[in-house]
Amino acid sequence: MREVIKRGAISFAISSFVGTLVNLIIDIMVNAFGITGFISMSKAYVEVFQTPVIAAYINVLLYGVIGFTFAAMTIIYDVDRIGFVLQSIIYYVVTLLVCLVITVFVWQLHRYPQAFIITLIGYTLTHVIIFVTEYRELKRNISAINENCEA
């Protein structure tokens, strides 16, 4: 459990830093093209808070929560009693729920049904690609182990 918390904390820090860096780069690029007053957060999201600064801090915190969830949920792959497919489904569902709640809030996706559906499809396709890649690697590793056992 200590390892999961450590892994989650590291991912929290990395996700928060990278999210902040990406927002900073977007803001700098947009402002460099002469658009003043732009911030890389939804206007509706910013309006939820007393100031844009508080909105930005909460945004950074939420980036970290997403990173923590992705890292901490890898614990499911350490459970030997359930298969890889079920592990992957559990990982997908939990991370999807956390990410959707946060992205709906931050991007105000409940106001934009098409954006919500596209986000959901993109997230799902990403996980399908990751699953297929990991499944092939797992099969390759099992074949290599079996070949070594026969030799």
Instruction: Kindly report the pTM of this predicted structure.
Output: 0.83
Instruction: With respect to residue 16, please indicate whether it lies within any of the assigned structural domains.
Output: yes
Neighbours of 68 (CB within 10 A): 22
**In total, how many domains does the chain have?**
1
Instruction: With respect to residue 128, please indicate whether it lies within any of the assigned structural domains.
Output: no
User: Which residues span the domain enclosing 23?
Assistant: 2-111
Name the phi and psi angles at 81, rounded to 5: -75, -15
Amino acid letter, 39: I
User: Strand, coil or helix: what is 40?
Assistant: coil
Instruction: With respect to residue 125, please indicate whether it lies within any of the assigned structural domains.
Output: no
Rounded (10°) angle between helices 113-150 and 84-107 = 160
- Give per-residue pLDDT as tens, 4-30: 999 999 999 999 999 999 989 998 999
Instruction: With respect to residue 130, please indicate whether it lies within any of the assigned structural domains.
Output: no
- Give per-residue pLDDT as tens, 42-72: 889 999 999 999 999 999 999 999 999 999 9
Instruction: With respect to residue 118, please indicate whether it lies within any of the assigned structural domains.
Output: no
